Amino acid sequence: MSAPARKPVHLAVYDTLADWETGHATAYLARAGHPVRTVGPSTAPVRSVGGLRIQPDLALADLRPEDSALLILPGADLWDTSQDLAPFARAARAFLDAGTPVAAICGATAGLAREGLLDDRAHTSAVSFYLAATGYGGGEHYTDADAVTDRGLITAGPTEPVAFAREILGLLGVYEGEVLDAWYRLFHDSDAQAYDVLEKAAAR
């Protein structure tokens, strides 16, 4: 009997999204059998900060937490320059309320701060004063760490895409324990010995 199909992971896409922040996560989620679907403000194409044109698979209005394994929110200039992405922060609230996890990196953490989602959760971002500028109420829960997971919400700063992916892969059970640690050491530290651990795990 074949294994049941995994729920898709939804990657939010919008103009000015930061290309480099989610690639490690989405690549290894897909390799593990999680379909990755893009969700935009609408189904109209968007363009990343690096100039990539992306055609969303579905519009945000059609996204339901029960149909998803995870919502990933990358950073984008628009998080800090307009209210255009506020609907994605509200979607994150709906996901968390439904028990479906959310992962936010870089500017998306500020969007979640404005939505009040970091007021009572441990979290991180680029730097503490970046989030403080939003006027949010969660400053006492800010953690100086590469990435933080608390009650289904992952946060990370813009320089930590590998740690961000580590938290996502661990949360969804793609890798665990020493294998997850080895994956992180390989891609973050270029640790050749970590490759041996991954090779042995793949051969099991």
Q: Which residues are catalytic?
A: 106
Q: Identify the three-state secondary structure at position 138.
A: coil
**Which uninterrupted H or E stretch holds 45?**
none
Amino acid at 66: E
Amino acid at 204: R
- Quick one: 32 exposed, middle or buried, by C-beta within 10 A (0-12, 13-18, 19+)? middle
Which residues, 6 or more positions from 192, have their beta carbon under 8 angstroms from its beta carbon? 186
Rounded Cα distance, 44 and 19, in Å: 18
The backbone torsions φ and ψ at residue 32, rounded to the nearest 5 degrees and listed phi first, read -85, 0
